[in-house]
Amino acid sequence: MGTNVSSSSVGFSLSSVGGTWSWTVRSNNVYGGSQLYQVDEILTPWGRLSDVESPIPADVVEAMAASISDLRGQLAPLLSLVQGVSSFNVTVTEGDSVSSAASVLVQNSGAFGSFMTATGTPSAPWLSVDPSSLSGVPRGGQGTFNVRVIPSTLLSNSSPYVGTVNLQDNRTPSTVIPLTFVVTVLPKPAISLSVTDVTFTFSLSTMTSGMSTGTVTVTNAGPPNSLLNFTVGKLNNCSPWLVVSPTSGGPLAVGGSSDLSLSLTTANVPGIPGVYTETVQVSSTTASNSPKTFTVQLVVTA
């Protein structure tokens, strides 16, 4: 029995009484609804069945029934990767928050009328998949699995870690596509500050400052291979007279440094003599000694 697959139907043919008999099986499948199959366009060796008076041979009747089963088989979904990439390298730092590892685009490459359900199953507790399942993906339709790394239990001295996420469709037997994730874990950096305090002076009588700018150097004092990213902020936030720039920096390799510029805004200096204090905080989500602080004093004289 011959078979010819088109975009919306499957054609069949069989050599039997009188010559070649052919017919088409059409489907009208609705996700969550009915699956309808119709045999039509029956051609006998003498023309269309509707135009001639000819009994259908038994072997042709049996073949027509079997062709519906063949069609059902050809309507199976088929999971495939859109980009075709199945291996990923990810770098995290000990203590990192959950990190995005990959967005994997998949599609149903099965025949017309098929609907795919696909699941993503991680092999390791430090991998997660969102969503865990895609359902009702029609032929040619696409969906995305977002894979994340959970670094909270990962250590640099056990790096690299290798895990898989198995993608699987609802075929029988199912198609399984393993995605491999190699995770390199960097050790925690450490924050080092060049000073612990900075002092500005300002004279109200002369409206001048003894020091209008200052510099504090941030250095990564962590172990080899560590990387330091940091943010800077005024902890008390009671000093409109102080400007700190930049407010973030990194990544700094071991021994690498970045300068913070401190400047005095004279227009915002308090008009009453006294000593005014601000605490500046340097923070990192991964540094072993975060946060670190230094004090900035403003001495206002008459």
Q: What is the pLDDT of residues 206-252, one digit of tens each?
A: 998 887 779 999 999 999 999 999 999 999 988 999 999 999 999 99
31/77 Cα distance (integer angstroms): 12
pTM: 0.68
How many residues appear in the chain? Answer: 302
Q: For the residues 114-126, what does the mean pLDDT come to? A: 94
Phi-psi map region of 84: left, alpha, beta (phi>0 left; psi -120 to 50 alpha): left
Q: Which CATH architecture has domain 191-301?
A: Sandwich (2.60)
135/115 Cα distance (integer angstroms): 8
At 153, give phi and psi (nearest 5°). Answer: -105, 5
Comparing CA positions, the residue from 154, 150, 4 lying closest to residue 70 is: 4
Please report which confidence band the pLDDT of residue 34 belongs to, taking 50, 70 and 90 as the band edges: low
Q: Which two tokens stand for residue 257?
A: 């440094």
pLDDT digits (tens, 9 = 90+) for 225-234: 999 999 999 9
The pLDDT, as a whole number, for residue 69 is 76
Q: Which CATH architecture has domain 79-186?
A: Sandwich (2.60)
Only one residue has tokens 């291996």, namely: 87
Q: For the residues 154-174, what does the mean pLDDT come to? A: 94
In the predicted model, what is the mean pLDDT of the chain?
90
86/254 Cα distance (integer angstroms): 33
Please report which confidence band the pLDDT of residue 37 belongs to, taking 50, 70 and 90 as the band edges: confident
Q: With beta carbons less than 8 A apart as the criterion, state whether 238 and 278 touch.
A: yes
Question: In the predicted model, is pLDDT for residue 5 greater than 50?
Answer: no
The pLDDT, as a whole number, for residue 31 is 60
Highest mean pLDDT among 22-36, 100-114, 171-185 belongs to 171-185
